[in-house]
A and B are shown apart, each in its own frame.
Chain A
Amino acid sequence: MAKKTNTSTSKKHSEPSRRKSRAKSEVKSISGAPQEVIRQGSVAEFFRKRTQLVGFDFGLNKHTQYCIEFLDNSLDAIESFYWKESKRHPEYTFKLKDDLLLQNFSYLAGGVSEKDLQDLEERLNSERVDDAGYSLTEDGTLAILPEEHKEDEELIIEEELPKTDESSPEDDEEAKKLRMLQKKDEERAQEVQNILEGIKNFIFPIQVLVEREPFVIIQLTEREAQDVFADASQTKKEVLEYDFEIFDNGTGMSPTDLEKFGKYLASSKSQKLRQTRGSQGFGSPSAFSDAQNTTGKPVTVVSKDINHIYGIASQFYTTSKNNKEYVVTPTEIDCPFEHGTYIRLQYINVKYRKGYIDSYIQMTALTNPHITIIFLDPYGGETIYPRRVSRFPREPTYALPHPSSVNIGDFQDLLRTSNKLSLSVFLQDNFVRLSSSMAKDILFNAEFELEKQLNLLNLDHGVITWAHNELEKIYFIRKEKRIFGRAKKPREKWVVYSIEKSEDLKQYWDIILPFNKILDDIKRKNKEIKKLNKKISTLSVKKEISSIKKEISTLEKGIAANLKEINRQKKKLSQIVKIFSLNADSEVSDVKITDKLEENVKELLISQARPNSLTQKQTEALFKAFKAQKFMKPPSDPAVPIGASVLETTLIKEYNLNPAFRTDLFHDIEYIIEPLTQKESQNFSYRILYKFLQEPYLNPNFSTKDLLLDDREHELEEYRTLFLKFDALYNIEEDFIYAHTRPPTSGKGLAFVVEAGIALSPKIPQAKTAQQVLLRYVNRTPKMRDNSDCAIWKGCQMVNWKNYKLDTFDNGIPKGSIRILVNVSGPYVHLMFKSQSKNALAEDEILLKEIKYCLETIGRKIRNYQNRKIRRENRRKRSKVIEKYIPIFVSSLVNIIKNTDLEQVPDRKELESQIYMRLEGKLEVPEEKPESSEKGTENFEKIKEKINKQKKALEKEKEPTITKEKAPNSELKRESSISVKPRSILKKENTSQSDVKHIPSHAPKSVEKVDDIIKKWKKGAEHPKSAKKIIKVKDSDIIKKKTIKKNTPKVRKSTQSKLTPRKAFTSKISAPKVTTQTKSSEPPKKLTKPSSKIRIITTDTILKTLENQNWVNIKDLIKLLDIKDVKDARYLQLKLKQLTREKKVLLTIQSGRTYWKLNKAEVNL
């Protein structure tokens, strides 16, 4: 890029032609000093005049651009702070427990005070509500990533700042000015004080949270612009002056960094490729330029690094010479924050409207749920996006260029600047996926290429000329130790022999002639391959193409065989040459010949050459060999996706959706997302569940009689409504949310990951434009402009949404109450932006395909959901038809009864409402034949068996993997079995009453198991309907009973014990030892043999059923196990997956269907 021009030559060349045009300037230049015609401009100068290139064109979008530049920087800063800090102190986190505070947080209402914090602590202590959140990782797995130590990770900012050529002299100038300004320091002190006050006021409401929450706060205020600056002729719109303030608590800037901040191309990210939001160092300088260009006011920056005691405050202008002019010199101040950056600038723009910065922030918040973002708009509104997840994403690693993405220019550049001693090391160090053996291969191939070009053959002990014509003279050159001149010790020197003996020559030609022929053969084959490749591009029939491809591959095999043959011949030659009689007579002394040969040989021996001193021929040969090599795909760790689960969580929380509890069959972990935003109902449900789960078991003195006396009707009602609410939440108004993350792929030699999430719900406002539907993200950064130019947009259009029962706009983007979120992450994207403003991705074939596949995966889920919805809709329509007849029916009925003297006339409305209730499924169906006493005992027997059986099964599963599985399962159950538990509790009471001995009051963990058992029992019951009915009748009673026991200490106890498994779960991941401990703490159990016929799905039953079967499909299994419920089938599927992982069961996939078989070898062990 350096454009140092040779002034003298340029003068010579240009003077005659440009004399006329330059006449004036020549006249003006008085001295005879060399006249500069080509003047080198600076980047700063260029961009200062063209801020629109980076998105700062006058208009509403400029507001957004300011936000984009600084918000991205802030997010990057916070992340890098976190990563850095967590490396230093592995257990470091922002104190992420405080999201309770964020629930009702309001900046404008005064934020959070110390007292609030204390209150929260107290509340947490008293209620024992664990708010650690769900342990979601970025890619949906719980695998802990091994800590990698990369040397260059620490130097994120310090070492990578570019040193431009002109920086040193200008820095001097700057220093002078600095000194000048320092004199006036005292005068400026007041101004510093003012800045400080401003910040303090700005941060005050969130002061308490600064060290606890990762957050960014942006404030935009408007005021009347001075007429001079507001050029009204440009636009008829109202023009105002804006005050833009942003604060983040990320890694601050050290004083030295701060000096460079604001200059063009000064970036912490531009040097190496890495998945970051910004990358170039254009954003903030352009913003500063624009601010100054419009208002002429300086920029205020206050920043503090965590390693420094004082923060630095400064106020400055940036100049076209890419340096700063300070208004307030960098002054050390007592910062109100430990680390972070505060920036304030003023700019002039058209009047701000909603829908720009706020929507950008909204979109950003969706993909950055780990950071709280606060935006204060000019009209006194505040938008707060509280943190939604409790984990930061994994830190992306730096990406070395992949060989496939390197072009010759880059390659030469790398060679030129390399200070490595050998090419092999150079190759390995500069590229990813390049091993030492591969480097060796490359060098060997390069040498062969050179051999062809130089007509020399390297025979290891020397080099022989490679003749093609029998008239050519054959020379052999090798290193020999000789004593030269005055030296006493022998030194190595190239010695050239000419081979003239007829026998030797004959032997030589014997080898060389076929050798040449083989080479010609290779050439011919290569030509053919080229021809065939050309032909392929014209063909469209698949069969023909594949046949040609076959031909090519046979040719390639032939070439490979030829090359082997060549190597064999070469070795043979080298053997023969060794025997050649080489004596002093045949030594060539002609300097011309020897010099040339020597030179060529040196060029040939590329493996001994230094990377920074390669000849043109060598470079070309090396690059050719380098490109011809086949490489592994680039590693995927530089790309860090947001993660499907995180996407889903944020979508759900953003739109307040109600998903049915979701079981993700395609991942190892099932998770559910709490749809209830209110903590209260959450607590409520916990409490109920714990009660049902634990009390009969934990209190050996527990008796149902105690409970029967209670009649607190109002509490009963409370519980009933809650259950109705649950029912409504989980069954009726189910929204669709699904996110999918594709496995990493690579393009242009760099890794990238495509992921998408789709939310479908009537709660989401109808989109008016396609833009509102498709949210595009690149490295978690929303892209809002140039929609239709973008690869993401095109990828979305490529999907045939009609297949998934979705309506689309004319441009092929789905419409309606739907949001599609697509994120492309990875260092790859930095190469793919279409312009400096980074708004659109170029259409790469691989990228488009990935986007399409990803969306289609989700599409298939949508189809299922839509079908379900249609079915439900039909049901609803039907009920509408029925509704019409209810009043007619009831009025006739009432008329009949009215005219009989016998009965009291029932209330018409009461009857109607009763029927409506039933129609809506709110009314339970009671048992027709009330034989509850008999059945109760029967059930009791069954449960006993079940529990025993279950215990046995649980004991068998001793592998830690299972316990790992268990924990999330229990979490799942918390939701899924809500409707189940109250029913089953009756059984439990029965058991507890008469069979206390059988059920030991074991540790909290066992509670979870009992839960398991009950669930399974419910599933296994042969006649679930009848059973349900009895329980339903009794439901109210049970709840009544429960409510008595609801005194606070017990609640606490129950919550506590419920929480322990979850904690154990998290600890298990880090230290598997814990699991064994908890296992051993289990009390021993008496086992009675189960004799029940009821089907339950346990490991045993599955294995038993599989025992006598060959390959079985899941459908067959469902029949064999006599499963009648979808949930059970699903459970079976999970179980099978688990067994497959444990290798107890074998799995094959035939024609798209999965079949299972017992792994007898494994099970017998």
Chain B
Amino acid sequence: MAKKSSKRVAKRKTKRSRSSKGKAGVPQEVTPSRHLKENLEMKDLVAVRNLLEKRLKEGGTTVYEIPRDSIKINELTMNEALKRINDVALDLVNQIKITGSPTFKIPNRSSSNIIYDEKQDLLLLGQKTTNKSLLTLTSAQDSARLMKVLEIIHELLRKKKHMTKREVYYGDVNLFQDQKFSDASIEDASTLLRTTRNSTGIVAKARGSAVGRLRLKDRNEIIDLDAQGSGAWSITPMIDQVEVLESDAEFILVLEKDAAMMRLIEEKWWRKYPCIALTAEGVGNVATRMFLKKINRDLRLPTFSVVDADPYGHYIYSVYIRGSKRLSYETPFLATPDMHLLGVLSQDLDEYGIDYSCRIPMNKIDMKRLDDILAEPYVQANKRWKEDLELMKKTKMKAEIQALSSHGIEYLTDTYLPNKLYSGDWI
């Protein structure tokens, strides 16, 4: 069964792929179609260098112009944020005194209110608002939770402290009942205040880590990401307190998986190819994304991501470049739109001769996710990305980064990444 299906796939591939002619008859032994170079040096990676130069020439950080019909979100200083909360509170008191019915006007975060800004390639929030009144059955609970969250934020800002979402949830378990409710309220609160979540003092749990050619100043301490031993520096949620000191990296590599990160660390890969590597262990969390955004903006380095060759991997990539829908209002502060998808692309599977035993047929859920991603306007706008996804749809096969290890443990670091970077074969 497996043989037959792979035969069929192989046949199809012969027609499509550029360099697998003549090999179609021997499907069992998959040999890389591309001529792979060994022992590539940093100086050989011309494509990356060109990109870097181009970026440096562009100079400066891009200034976002918020479209007219979207909501303006500011990063706020603590005092500004405090003032906004005060305004909201006073308004509520007035409402109670006059009508007896306090109502929040919160920008709507439903998908219907999310705008894709083609010009800047960002997801943004529209101007629709939802009213949350204490005196309606549907939103009474929400209103109370939101008020509680506002109270906590107020306290945090006054005391200049930070708190994780989880902590907020434990602040009043009876009221919040489940962390998903408190998380929603936290998001509501930051939208209500028209600011980033980071400005509210509530931080996500730190889950990302970074290594590479970078020196940071976190509060008063200097951290060298090159000297982290066998581990990596875990990205702090309090990015606002981090300062970039110096770096001689030439590119940034964002990895989906901790395992790939492990490979790099063990090889001390960034010493050979000066770079900064970071991972969020899955979907980029806010802290990681903010950190990435920060170093990307400050150092103006070309940024690449290495994800699994499956719809979920592509989704992770899309989150880095466009932001998630849930936090679309914070997109300008989280997204890294000029990031490239280095791999693993569907076409790479053949080009790098990934064995069929390492490829996994996609299930229904994968197919659905794939269709969803394909339907996104920003995917449709990107021709290469679209092609690659359509190829994946045709083969109905996916593979993880680890599939590269079928050629050997060092294949990823020694062969795959350098060759990819060398050939400029990214999206």
Q: Which of B7-15, B138-146, B215-223, B329-337 lies at the binding interface?
A: B138-146
CA–CA, A881 to B141, complex, Å? Answer: 9
Q: Kindly list chain B residues whose C-beta atoms are within 8 Å of the C-beta of A591.
A: none
Instruction: List, sorted by A's number, 29 A–B pairs whose CB atoms are closer than 8 Å.
Output: A881-B141, A882-B134, A882-B135, A888-B144, A888-B147, A888-B175, A889-B144, A890-B96, A892-B150, A893-B89, A893-B151, A895-B154, A896-B150, A896-B154, A897-B86, A897-B93, A899-B154, A899-B158, A900-B86, A902-B86, A903-B90, A903-B93, A911-B97, A918-B99, A918-B101, A918-B135, A923-B100, A925-B99, A926-B98
CA–CA, A915 to B96, complex, Å? Answer: 6
Q: Kindly list chain B residues whose C-beta atoms are within 8 Å of the C-beta of A915.
A: 96, 100-102, 134-135
**Nearest Cβ on chain B to A1030's Cβ, whole angstroms:** 15
Q: Kindly list chain A residues whose C-beta atoms are within 8 Å of the C-beta of B257.
A: none
B93 contacts A881, C-beta separation under 8 Å: no
CA–CA, A85 to B56, complex, Å? Answer: 118
**Nearest Cβ on chain A to B149's Cβ, whole angstroms:** 9
B140, B148, B154, B155: the one contacting A882 at CB < 8 Å is: B140
* Chain B: CB-nearest residue to A903: B90
A881, A895, A914: the one contacting B151 at CB < 8 Å is: A895
Question: Given A885-B143, A919-B100, A923-B100, 5 more contacts at CB 8 Å?
Answer: A882-B134, A882-B136, A885-B141, A888-B148, A899-B154
- The answer to whether the Cβ of B115 comes within 8 Å of any Cβ in the partner chain is no
Interface residues of A (CB under 8 A from B): 878, 881-882, 885-886, 888-890, 892-893, 895-897, 899-900, 902-903, 906, 911, 914-915, 917-919, 923, 925-926
Closest 10 CB pairs of A and B: A918-B100, A885-B144, A892-B147, A892-B151, A882-B140, A923-B100, A878-B137, A896-B89, A888-B144, A914-B100
Q: Kindly list chain B residues whose C-beta atoms are within 8 Å of the C-beta of A888.
A: 144, 147-148, 175
Q: Kindly list chain B residues whose C-beta atoms are within 8 Å of the C-beta of A892.
A: 144, 147-148, 150-151
**Nearest Cβ on chain A to B93's Cβ, whole angstroms:** 5
* Chain A: CB-nearest residue to B137: A878
* Chain B: CB-nearest residue to A887: B144
**Nearest Cβ on chain A to B145's Cβ, whole angstroms:** 9
Q: Kindly list chain A residues whose C-beta atoms are within 8 Å of the C-beta of B40.
A: none
* Chain A: CB-nearest residue to B152: A892
Q: Kindly list chain A residues whose C-beta atoms are within 8 Å of the C-beta of B90.
A: 897, 902-903
**Nearest Cβ on chain A to B171's Cβ, whole angstroms:** 11
A885 contacts B134, C-beta separation under 8 Å: yes
Given A885-B134, A918-B135: A893 and B99 interface contact (C-beta under 8 Å) = no
CA–CA, A878 to B86, complex, Å? Answer: 30
Given A896-B89, A902-B86, A903-B90: A889 and B134 interface contact (C-beta under 8 Å) = yes
Q: Kindly list chain B residues whose C-beta atoms are within 8 Å of the C-beta of A897.
A: 86, 89-90, 93
CA–CA, A888 to B143, complex, Å? Answer: 10
Q: Kindly list chain B residues whose C-beta atoms are within 8 Å of the C-beta of A900.
A: 82, 86, 89
A881 contacts B137, C-beta separation under 8 Å: yes
CA–CA, A902 to B154, complex, Å? Answer: 14
* Chain B: CB-nearest residue to A901: B86
Q: Name B's interface SS.
A: helix
- The answer to whether the Cβ of B206 comes within 8 Å of any Cβ in the partner chain is no
Q: Kindly list chain A residues whose C-beta atoms are within 8 Å of the C-beta of B144.
A: 885, 888-889, 892
**Nearest Cβ on chain B to A93's Cβ, whole angstroms:** 53
Within 8 A of A (CB), among B101-155: 101-102, 134-137, 140-141, 143-144, 147-148, 150-151, 154-155
Q: Kindly list chain A residues whose C-beta atoms are within 8 Å of the C-beta of B155.
A: 899
B135 contacts A923, C-beta separation under 8 Å: no
**Nearest Cβ on chain A to B242's Cβ, whole angstroms:** 29
Q: Kindly list chain A residues whose C-beta atoms are within 8 Å of the C-beta of B98.
A: 926
Within 8 A of A (CB), among B142-186: 143-144, 147-148, 150-151, 154-155, 158, 175
* Chain B: CB-nearest residue to A924: B99
B96 contacts A896, C-beta separation under 8 Å: no
CA–CA, A919 to B102, complex, Å? Answer: 11
Q: Kindly list chain B residues whose C-beta atoms are within 8 Å of the C-beta of A899.
A: 154-155, 158
CA–CA, A524 to B151, complex, Å? Answer: 101
- The answer to whether the Cβ of B85 comes within 8 Å of any Cβ in the partner chain is yes
A878, A902, A903, A914: the one contacting B96 at CB < 8 Å is: A914
**Nearest Cβ on chain B to A135's Cβ, whole angstroms:** 44
B137 contacts A882, C-beta separation under 8 Å: yes
A893 contacts B93, C-beta separation under 8 Å: yes
* Chain B: CB-nearest residue to A919: B135
Interface residues of B (CB under 8 A from A): 82, 85-86, 89-90, 92-93, 96-102, 134-137, 140-141, 143-144, 147-148, 150-151, 154-155, 158, 175
B100 contacts A893, C-beta separation under 8 Å: no
CA–CA, A224 to B262, complex, Å? Answer: 110
Q: Kindly list chain A residues whose C-beta atoms are within 8 Å of the C-beta of B158.
A: 899
CA–CA, A895 to B154, complex, Å? Answer: 9
CA–CA, A882 to B86, complex, Å? Answer: 24
B140 contacts A885, C-beta separation under 8 Å: yes
CA–CA, A878 to B134, complex, Å? Answer: 12
**Nearest Cβ on chain A to B96's Cβ, whole angstroms:** 5
Q: Kindly list chain B residues whose C-beta atoms are within 8 Å of the C-beta of A914.
A: 96-97, 100
Q: Kindly list chain A residues whose C-beta atoms are within 8 Å of the C-beta of B135.
A: 882, 915, 918-919
CA–CA, A573 to B88, complex, Å? Answer: 113
CA–CA, A906 to B92, complex, Å? Answer: 11
CA–CA, A889 to B89, complex, Å? Answer: 11
* Chain B: CB-nearest residue to A906: B93
Among B147, B155, B175: residue with most chain A CB under 10 A: B147
Q: Kindly list chain B residues whose C-beta atoms are within 8 Å of the C-beta of A918.
A: 99-101, 135
Given A899-B158, A906-B93, A911-B93: A917 and B134 interface contact (C-beta under 8 Å) = no
CA–CA, A914 to B134, complex, Å? Answer: 12
* Chain A: CB-nearest residue to B175: A888
* Chain B: CB-nearest residue to A904: B93
Q: Kindly list chain A residues whose C-beta atoms are within 8 Å of the C-beta of B141.
A: 881, 885
CA–CA, A886 to B101, complex, Å? Answer: 10
CA–CA, A896 to B88, complex, Å? Answer: 10
CA–CA, A899 to B97, complex, Å? Answer: 20
**Nearest Cβ on chain A to B155's Cβ, whole angstroms:** 8
**Nearest Cβ on chain A to B143's Cβ, whole angstroms:** 6
Q: Kindly list chain A residues whose C-beta atoms are within 8 Å of the C-beta of B86.
A: 896-897, 900, 902-903
CA–CA, A450 to B316, complex, Å? Answer: 112
**Nearest Cβ on chain A to B306's Cβ, whole angstroms:** 45
CA–CA, A653 to B47, complex, Å? Answer: 97
* Chain B: CB-nearest residue to A885: B144
B175 contacts A893, C-beta separation under 8 Å: no
B140 contacts A893, C-beta separation under 8 Å: no
Q: Kindly list chain A residues whose C-beta atoms are within 8 Å of the C-beta of B147.
A: 888-889, 892-893
Q: Kindly list chain B residues whose C-beta atoms are within 8 Å of the C-beta of A895.
A: 151, 154
Among B92, B100, B135: residue with most chain A CB under 10 A: B100
CA–CA, A888 to B96, complex, Å? Answer: 14
B92 contacts A893, C-beta separation under 8 Å: yes
**Nearest Cβ on chain B to A868's Cβ, whole angstroms:** 19
Q: Kindly list chain A residues whose C-beta atoms are within 8 Å of the C-beta of B89.
A: 893, 896-897, 900
A881 contacts B96, C-beta separation under 8 Å: no
B143 contacts A889, C-beta separation under 8 Å: yes
B151 contacts A896, C-beta separation under 8 Å: yes
CA–CA, A915 to B102, complex, Å? Answer: 8
**Nearest Cβ on chain A to B173's Cβ, whole angstroms:** 13
Q: Kindly list chain B residues whose C-beta atoms are within 8 Å of the C-beta of A919.
A: 100, 135
CA–CA, A900 to B85, complex, Å? Answer: 10
B100, B102, B137: the one contacting A889 at CB < 8 Å is: B102
Q: Kindly list chain A residues whose C-beta atoms are within 8 Å of the C-beta of B93.
A: 893, 897, 903, 906, 911
CA–CA, A925 to B175, complex, Å? Answer: 29
CA–CA, A923 to B98, complex, Å? Answer: 9
B140 contacts A881, C-beta separation under 8 Å: yes
Q: Kindly list chain B residues whose C-beta atoms are within 8 Å of the C-beta of A906.
A: 93, 97
* Chain A: CB-nearest residue to B148: A892
CA–CA, A363 to B96, complex, Å? Answer: 52
CA–CA, A890 to B140, complex, Å? Answer: 12
Q: Kindly list chain A residues whose C-beta atoms are within 8 Å of the C-beta of B82.
A: 900
CA–CA, A897 to B82, complex, Å? Answer: 11
CA–CA, A1067 to B154, complex, Å? Answer: 75
